[in-house]
Amino acid sequence: MTVKKSTTQELEEVLQEIGQKIEELVKKGAEAGGEIKEEIEQKIRDLKENKTTLEAELKKAKEMLEREYRDKREELEPRIEESKGFVKEGFKQIGLGLKILFGKK
């Protein structure tokens, strides 16, 4: 059975990959010289900026989803409690029906 990853997990993995690529570029930049070193440093700055932006967007999305979840939960909580009562009553009725059914045999 395969487990589906949530969007949040996928984004976190992408951010980790970006972090790893930044580290690789830092190492290559230390070894490189001249013009190539400047290009690598610029790419590092760009990646760090994008990573920061993605992290901020991920944080906002998580907060929004948590807020929506809390709102929906608060909205549905009374209905869920009411449904629990109906389910309990239904099981009681089934139990009584079985007692009557097996009691008459």
pLDDT of residue 1: 47
pLDDT of residue 69: 87
pLDDT of residue 36: 75
State which residues form the domain around 89: 7-103
pLDDT in tens, 77-100: 888 888 888 899 999 999 888 888
In a domain, 16, yes or no: yes
In a domain, 2, yes or no: no
Q: Give SS3 for 2.
A: coil
Place of tokens 């239904």: 90
- Collect the ranges in the chain with pLDDT lower than 50: 1
pLDDT of residue 32: 67
Q: Are 59 and 12 a contacting pair, CB within 8 Å?
A: no
pLDDT of residue 49: 83
What are the start-end ranges of the H helices in 1-105? 7-31, 34-103
Domain count, the chain: 1
Place of tokens 């045999």: 105
H or E element, residue 3: none
Query: For residue 1, what are its two tokens?
Result: 């059975």
In a domain, 1, yes or no: no
